[in-house]
Amino acid sequence: MDKVYVGAAYYPELWDLSEVDKDIERMHAAGVNVARIGEFAWSRMEPKEGEFDFSWLHEVVDKLYAAGIDSILCTPSCTPPRWLFKKYPETIIVDSYDRRAEISSRCHPCKTSPVMREKNRIITEQLAKEFGSHPGVIGWQIDNEIYPYGAGCYCPLCKNAFRTYLKEKYGTPDNLNKAWGMYRWSLNYDSFDDVDPPRFDQWKHPSLETEWRRFHCKQIVSYVEEQADVLHRYTKAPVGTDMMVTNLLSYYEMNKKLDVIQYNHYEPAKLLPDTKFSFDFLRPILPRPFWVTETQVGWNGGNVAFFGYRPEGNCYVNTWMPIALGGEMNEYWLFRAHPQGQELGHGALYSTPGRAYRVTEEVKHAADDFVKCADFLKKSKVVSKIAMHYSSTAVGHFASAPMLEGFDYRRTLVQNFHAAFRDTNIDLIDTQHSLNGYDVILSPFLATVDENGLKERIVEWVKAGGTWIVGPMSDIYDENTCKYVNAPYSFVEELAGVYVKYQKPVANDVFKARFEDGTDCPVSMCYDAFEARDCKTLASYAGDEFDGLAVITERKIGEGRVILLGSVPSKEALRKLAGVSPVAEASENLVLVERSGEENGIIALETEHKEGSLTLDGTYTDLLTGEKMAGTVKVAPHRVLVLKKA
């Protein structure tokens, strides 16, 4: 990391160009050193088909660069102009009721349309020719929050492409029928032409729903990669696409041909601690620091403001969090509140008349901090010896067939598993990620384990000395969101040395359990009960029909071990099972990050707006204040400590 970037989305197309100089002064006052420009400005770039005008954009980018402010340019494919939709109506998405979308907001384009893709390539190439070598353009963003919105596009092009996708994957209708179990209810297809996409207001087949989502994600990946291919011909600056919180559109698949992870998030103030989950996931994907391309600066909003008040310091810590956890950029949405149109209620660094808020001062505070800590941040990084799986495949499976009433896969991982490691360096990885370098891997609710070679790789990793904590509800689905027929799991039952006696996805807290030493072992959400056959019982159910059956088991395999969870244990139990020590002893309201390399230290962030405490194992210097610290120190509400070890 050579530099920390603090920035905001800027929309000069909405303002008279005379405002740019004033806004540059405001950017300097707020500590902003990068602006994200152009994502919705296609009609300004190409007011008529084949007629391009980038003069206004040159003026903005040139002025920013002269003022020491870098730019990230965006391809405008999220919002094609009306002339394009009028001339080529087949480029507009169609909903599940066969209605073309009204052109009233954004994200209208069909990702399958050859015309839409060709128009994207043309505007992207024109933009890249103009700015690909501009010294002030440090990066590129493709589209905006691209995602399979709603149920996807149901236009004839997408339906036919979906059927072609199925034919290429399954070969014959009979193969599909067998894989999906379509002979149940006599739903089997005689031809791929018979396959209609699922309508989400009806009772839908999970396998069909899963494949429909996969098809749309596949279209989106190629849609973005086409633009990336164009940009890479004209620029050496990193290219990415700003993605949303969910991993349904796989981060790993989406970023295979991109250069930098870009991420947008909008959590309310009380969920600030949970943002660590996202940054622990983003960090391992590519070998360069990730960018936060959007987050809220004050309040969120559409035509009304929502998510409420943010306590003093919340925005400051929100600016610090991604940088502490391995990122190099934090950009806010947006720089200056819109004067017209949708999202009038959204907060910004500056109000519509250009007046600062309290949160503007907090962003400047963080920007000044990054300058003070620049050397430490450059010479240290986040290294994790423990990882947890967060699977795109599992996101899709549980969207189609969650099994548990009200189940939210991501929220469960955040609150019931990752929260146990807020004071520990931990990576979140998808199943294709390498296992090298980790001592412990957790795989809760990893619905499909037998993919991307993970089954074979993790067995060898365990034999070499790794600890695999797997379950609950892991290894329960094949790739088609279907259960296995020969055992409850595809291979984990045999690997763990158990016989699964019962499975109850009852989603409430009705069963009790105890560790072998007699202490309570709180369990919740779902309940698998095991007969321990070639393993050691660590915890057993107590009372009711499961009495004496195991809920947590351990089996030694080679130099390592497999710990199987039949239910969701407490966070304290998870830490004990993982054998992981915290970065330092601290109160629960602190997020701790250990940084190591040429320089070593700890970054501590108070995230719940109350005083915390931290006990240090030696003498440290707080790089923000110059204060020497040792022993137990108090941490004020929403304070950040950047502690370099002496």
3-class secondary structure per residue, 600-632 = CEEEEEECCCCCEEEECCCCEEECCCCCEECCE
For a pLDDT cut of 90, what percent of the chain falls above it? 92
CA 498 to chain centre: 34
For a pLDDT cut of 70, what percent of the chain falls above it? 100
Q: Any bridge partners for residue 161, and if so which?
A: none
In eight-state DSSP terms, residue 102 is: P
Name which CATH class applies to 585-645: mainly beta
Q: Any bridge partners for residue 239, and if so which?
A: 140
Q: Give the residue ranges of DSSP H helices in 234-351.
A: 251-254, 275-282, 314-324
Q: What is the mean pLDDT of residues 421-448?
A: 98
CA geometry: angle 636, 637, 643, nearest 5 deg: 50
Element (H, E) at 395: helix 392-400
Closest Cα to residue 179, out of 485, 600, 576, 612? 485
Give CA–CA dist 314/532, Å, rounded. Answer: 48
In eight-state DSSP terms, residue 88 is: -
329-332 and 70-74 as β-strands: parallel, antiparallel, unpaired? unpaired
In this structure, which topology does domain 5-147+234-378 adopt according to CATH? Answer: TIM Barrel (3.20.20)
Q: What pLDDT is recorded for position 151?
A: 86
Q: What pLDDT is recorded for position 200?
A: 79
pTM surpassing 0.95?
yes
**Average pLDDT over the chain, rounded to whole?**
96
Give CA–CA dist 482/493, Å, rounded. Answer: 17
Domain boundaries, the chain: 5-147+234-378, 386-578, 585-645
Is the pLDDT at 507 greater than 80? The verdict is no
pLDDT band with cut points at 50, 70 and 90 for residue 394 = very high
Q: CB of 8 within 8 A of CB of 297?
A: yes
3-class secondary structure per residue, 166-209 = HHHHHCCHHHHHHHHCCCHHHCCCCCHHHCCCCCCCCCCCHHHH
pLDDT band with cut points at 50, 70 and 90 for residue 635 = very high
For residue 328, give the amino acid letter: E
Is the pLDDT at 615 greater than 90? The verdict is yes
Is the pLDDT at 382 greater than 90? The verdict is yes
Find tokens 């391809």 and name the residue: 75
pLDDT band with cut points at 50, 70 and 90 for residue 102 = confident
Q: What is the mean pLDDT of residues 409-413?
A: 98
Is the pLDDT at 342 greater than 90? The verdict is no
Is the pLDDT at 201 greater than 90? The verdict is no
Tokens coding 353: 């008349």
Q: What is the mean pLDDT of residues 315-326?
A: 98
Instruction: List all residues 6 or more positions away from 94 whose beta carbon is below 8 Å from its beta carbon.
Output: 100, 101, 110, 153, 154, 155, 158
Closest Cα to residue 147, out of 415, 406, 395, 414? 395
Q: What pLDDT is recorded for position 149?
A: 83
Give CA–CA dist 144/421, Å, rounded. Answer: 32
CA 101, 104, 108, 113: dihedral to nearest 10 degrees?
A: 70
Q: In the chain, what are the helix, strand and coil shares in percent, each to the nearest 5?
A: 35, 20, 45
| Phi, psi (degrees; rounded to nearest 5) at 182 | -80, -10
Q: CB of 481 within 8 A of CB of 210?
A: yes
Is the pLDDT at 335 greater than 90? The verdict is yes
pLDDT in tens, 18-34: 999 999 999 999 999 99
In this structure, which topology does domain 386-578 adopt according to CATH? Answer: Rossmann fold (3.40.50)
Is the pLDDT at 107 greater than 90? The verdict is no
Find tokens 């330092």 and name the residue: 584
pLDDT in tens, 485-498: 999 999 999 999 99
Instruction: List all residues 6 or more positions away from 175 whose beta carbon is below 8 Å from its beta carbon.
Output: none
Higher per-residue pLDDT: 310 or 419: 419
Is the pLDDT at 98 greater than 80? The verdict is yes
pLDDT in tens, 47-76: 999 999 999 999 999 999 999 999 999 999
3-class secondary structure per residue, 252-271 = HHHCCCCCCCEEECCCCHHH
Is the pLDDT at 508 greater than 80? The verdict is no
Q: What pLDDT is recorded for position 2?
A: 81
pLDDT band with cut points at 50, 70 and 90 for residue 238 = very high
* Rg of the chain (C-alpha set): 26
Residue 44, classified by CB atoms within 10 Å of its CB into exposed (0-12), middle (13-18) or buried (19+), is middle
| Phi, psi (degrees; rounded to nearest 5) at 257 | -110, 15
pLDDT in tens, 111-130: 999 999 999 999 999 999 99
Question: What size, in residues, is the chain?
Answer: 646
CB count in 10 Å sphere of residue 416: 18
Q: What pLDDT is recorded for position 101?
A: 87
